[in-house]
Amino acid sequence: MKDRKKVIVRALALLVFASSNAAPVAPLAAQDAAEVESASAHFLEMADRHSAEILKISPEFASQLGVGEDIAGDGYGGRLADYSPAGQRETAALAERLRRELQTVDPDALSGTAAITYEVMIAAYDLASRQNGFGIGPASTLGVMQPYATDQLFGPHIGLPRLFAAQMPIRNRDELESFFARIEQLDEALDQVSRQLRADAERGAAPPRFVLENVASASRDFAMLVPTDNPIFTGVAPRIDALADLSAGDREAAKQRLSSILLFDVSPAMLRYAQTASELSLNASNDAGVWRLANGDEIYQTALDNYGADGLTAEQIHDIGLAEVARIHSEMDAILRDEGYSEGNVGERMRLLAANPDYQYADTDASKVEVLGILEGYINEVERRAPDWFTSLPPQSVEVRRIPPHEEGSASGAYYTPPTLDGSQPGIFWINLKSMGDWPVYTLKSLVYHEAIPGHHFQASSQLVIEDMPLIRNMMWFGDYGEGWALYVEALAVEMGLYEGDDLGNLGRLRMELYRAARLVVDTGIHHKRWGRDEAVDWMVEVTGEPRDSIVREIDRYSVWPGQATSYKIGMIQFQELRAKAEQRLEDKFDIRKFHEFVLSTGNVPMGVLARLLDDWIEEQDRA
């Protein structure tokens, strides 16, 4: 790919040559530079148009991003996507049309951000095309791999309540009316996904039985909530009370209206949704892997490629995982011996350590509040040290919140949601506090560094402030970069001194790295080697020493989200390799702050793209 700066420098050099030699090449060179700039500008206009087309059929996504109606369409805040089988076909058709249009672009005519954006878009579109070709699950426009119409992690029974409770802006009367317009469509959205779920089941592509049972249970529990205890109500009612352009009577009427919708529309729809999942579970397979689906091996390789395999096969990833587990076990063994734990394998000793009451929080509401405060304290400490390792801190704040209790039974241990583009919502680090036994005191630091700062929040916030970043780039997520970065900075925290004098905290970090290495083994075990659910659970419990209930939730996650769990460790290895390459070539010119600035300034890209950009960056640093 031609870099814009190189093209312009070449054009200026030829102009100087022409002024002294009267050669006709000068105007042609200048014209080349102008043409490249024009082609890049036209391409970025196309990229913006593509993002608008995608968001028009994904209004919930538009709300999460915080874009205006000029992009996502008039009144989009009051609409929901079409989740029906027909809606999925429409989404797939749009994805294919956008991909064909992108293929008409000459990438060699682009420079700078446009050139990088083309590479990112073509990678995402090609992956979406491969996924949509299987004809199951939700259709994709940007290459997000999900094989099932719904599961315990994804679907309107999870995503829409979260959207309503925490992500939709409700700052005035108009936004409140948009909220009501949307929530009144929630029952239809649930019914639409039920139809898609039944259609997939007829094609032999229903989720595993244990997944369907989980969906049924979670949906039924949600439906049985008293409206005022519903997380939508508890999340929205305080915002209604804060509306200055409503009278006290109007605010009370709005809350009554919301309670009525939850009771008479949403709860019955959730019960129907639960009934569909329950009925389908009776004839569903209990095999966890996608190998049981038609084209299962191809589906899995597509998933691996989507999450950064970069040519690696499932067998190769499995072997990398086994090797990394052995290495990390060795480092953990040394610390455990120093702490007086020398008997048994690493997993057994980690279980003994976790059972030590000195390292446990009480399973009480007060302790859960205490943990949220501790996490906030760790965030503050990273912010204090960060200037020695990063050129700037993100302007957006990050908050720590507890995952709503109704989601805890099926949700992962922790996750992060990024700030909106318009700044109306902060970054949020969510933690699952269902069982305090999942979080011994020495485990919390690495969790903060991964999910909040300098992990996901630094990466997501840095991308939001890149001035010439096309919107479509903020709509994409490449797990090898995003999760790889978050795991890379977990290890960076040791260099930052965040574990100084805290060997147990460092053991907690290694525990999490072990977790990610073990994921390479169990993900490929489930979907490639045809391990059963119990076999995968048993292996991971033995290797990590984690509580069985926690591991069951994790294995269930890998079962419905094939490949995603591999992105963490594969991406981390790639980040470490790129840094080592830069250090080796630049020697005393290497500046860790500038390296991190470079990595974050590209935005979320496939690691293969980042590797190519690194070569240019190294050359620039070497000349400086």
User: pTM of the full predicted structure?
Assistant: 0.85
Per-residue pLDDT band for 70 (boundaries 50, 70, 90) equals very high
Q: How many other C-beta atoms can be found within 10 angstroms of the C-beta atom of residue 126?
A: 16
Q: Give the Cβ contact number of residue 334 at 10 Å.
A: 12
pLDDT of the residue at 564 = 94
**445: part of which helix (H) or strand (E)?**
helix 444-451
Res 10: pLDDT: 31
- Find the helix packing angle between 456-464 and 592-601, rounded to 10°: 60
Is residue 524 scored above 50 in pLDDT?
A: yes
Look at residue 416 and give its three-state secondary structure: strand
Strand pairing report for 427-431 and 398-402: parallel
Task: Based on DSSP, count helices (H) and strands (E) in the chain, helices before strands.
Answer: 28, 3
Per-residue tokens: 133? 């070709």
pLDDT, tens digit (0-9, with 9 covering 90-100), for 353-377:
988 999 999 999 999 999 999 999 9
Characterise 501 by phi-psi region: left (phi > 0), alpha (psi -120 to 50), beta (else).
Answer: left
Q: What is the pLDDT of residues 155-175, one digit of tens each?
A: 999 999 999 998 899 999 999
Q: Where are the alpha helices (DSSP H) in 75-185?
A: 85-102, 112-132, 156-162, 173-183
User: By the 8 A CB rule, do 370 and 364 touch?
Assistant: no
Q: Are 216 and 281 in contact (CB under 8 A)?
A: yes
Strand boundaries in 372-474, DSSP class E: 398-402, 414-417, 427-431
pLDDT given for residue 399 in this prediction? 93
E-assigned strands of 421-554? 427-431
* pLDDT bucket at 37, cuts 50 / 70 / 90: confident
So what's the pLDDT on residue 600? 94
- pLDDT attached to residue 124: 93
pLDDT tens figures, 426-449: 899 999 998 888 899 999 999 999
Q: Does position 24 have pLDDT exceeding 50, yes or no?
A: no
Q: Does position 207 have pLDDT exceeding 80, yes or no? A: yes
Euclidean distance between the first and final Cα of the chain, in Å? 22
Angle at 354 between CA 352 and CA 358, to 5 degrees: 105
Distance of alpha carbon 264 from alpha carbon 238, whole angstroms:
22
306-325 average pLDDT score:
95
pLDDT at 29: 53
Q: Measured between alpha carbons, how far is 29 from 40 in angstroms, rounded to an integer? A: 17
Residue 13 has pLDDT above 80, yes or no: no
pLDDT above 70 coverage of the chain, percent: 95
Single-letter amino acid, residue 468: D
Region of poorest pLDDT, from 112-116, 480-484, 504-508: 112-116
What is the structure's pLDDT at 356? 93
CA–CA dist 516, 180 (Å, integer): 41
Most confident of 3-12, 303-312, 412-421: 303-312
User: Is pLDDT above 80 for 296?
Assistant: yes
What is the per-residue pLDDT across 265-285, written as a single tens digit (0 to 9) for each?
999 999 999 999 999 999 999
pLDDT over 70 (residue 106): yes
Q: How far is CA 518 from CA 82, 317, 544, in A?
A: 38, 11, 8
CB distance 86 to 57 below 8 Å: no
Please, what is the average pLDDT of the chain?
Answer: 91
pLDDT band for position 209 (50/70/90)? very high
Mean of pLDDT values over 283-295: 96
Rounded Cα distance between 106 and 473, Å, is 19
pLDDT for the residue 411: 74
Q: What is the pLDDT of residue 190?
A: 97
pLDDT value of residue 599: 96
Band of pLDDT at residue 219, cut at 50, 70 and 90: very high
pLDDT of 8 higher than 50: no
Mean pLDDT in residue range 326-353? 96
Where are the domains positioned within the chain? Answer: 4-132, 156-286, 299-574
Burial class (CB in 10 A: 0-12, 13-18, 19+), 563: buried
> Which of these ranges, 250-259, 260-269, 359-368, has the smallest mean pLDDT?
359-368
Tokens of 43: 């391409």
